Amino acid sequence: MFARIAAGLVGLCLVLPVLIWGGPYGASGLIGLVLLISLDEYVRMAVPDSLTRGRALLLPLGLGVMMLIALGPAGAVLPALGLCFVVVTTVAMLSNPDVPAAAREAGLLGFGLLWVPPMLGMLAQIRQSPEGLALVFLLLACTWLGDTGAYFAGRAFGKTPLLPRISPKKTVEGFLGGVVLSVAGGAVVKVVGGLSFGWVEVLLLAAALDLAGVVGDLVQSMFKRWFGVKDSGTIMPGHGGLLDRIDSLLFSAPLLAAWLFLRAWAFEAG
């Protein structure tokens, strides 16, 4: 447990200064670094027999997609993502003489391209919004405090399995503890960060972000079970790989991005 807490604190000490003082471009650079490490972990899990090819395809293309979402014109994202998907799946098909192996590699690399870069690109995009810093802190607080609350509440009170076929250690009691801490984190961000959202909106959004994060964590666990690995990597003692640490964000970030879009649309329509 000490290693888990220490690794988390070290990570926060490295991330928070960049998010606060690095501005949108610093945040995009940091997220790009996280993306490269996470994609490398994904390739090692998903296609261990094609490491060189997988890295050569996913890392540069994924970084390009993420940066385009974060900093490029909105209209260019979908064509670029589609073109990258075509490249990844075509190369996988032509490089494998065995048809089932080619189909598996194409599907897994294509999924990795569509899963990690766009979600992290949305996180970088959120940082550039008018209340970007407060919104990023809301996202991080709700996602990671929810995970922390679920961990400790599960250890203390957990009895009812949440989804045992995917993650035997997760419990309903842990999930509820995570929701409570996530909502508390959302309240703190509203007060300290001066977020303009109303109280009801913040608290409901905090609970929804925690729920999305739990689903993201379960999806990552599902794939790790399929790949036959316990962790995506070893970069963070007590936590596993970096992809293990951001799996919740990969689901909560697009939820927040979608909410911001709907909120802006409703404001313009009204």
Which are the contacts of 75, defined by CB distance < 8 A and separation ≥ 6? none
Q: Model confidence over 194-220: pLDDT tens digits?
A: 999 999 999 999 999 999 999 999 999
CA pair distance 87, 83, nearest whole angstrom = 6
What is residue 98's predicted lDDT score, i.e. its pLDDT? 94
Q: Is the pTM of this model over 0.85?
A: yes
Half-sphere exposure of 15 (CA within 13 A, CB side): 17
What is residue 235's predicted lDDT score, i.e. its pLDDT? 76
pLDDT below 50 — which residues of the chain?
1-3
What is residue 153's predicted lDDT score, i.e. its pLDDT? 94
Angle formed at CA 47 by CA 43 and CA 53, multiple of 5 degrees: 75
What is residue 238's predicted lDDT score, i.e. its pLDDT? 63
SS3 171: strand
Q: Are 200 and 206 in contact (CB under 8 A)?
A: no
What is residue 265's predicted lDDT score, i.e. its pLDDT? 87
What is residue 57's predicted lDDT score, i.e. its pLDDT? 96
Q: Model confidence over 111-161: pLDDT tens digits?
A: 999 999 999 999 999 998 889 899 999 999 999 899 999 999 999 999 999
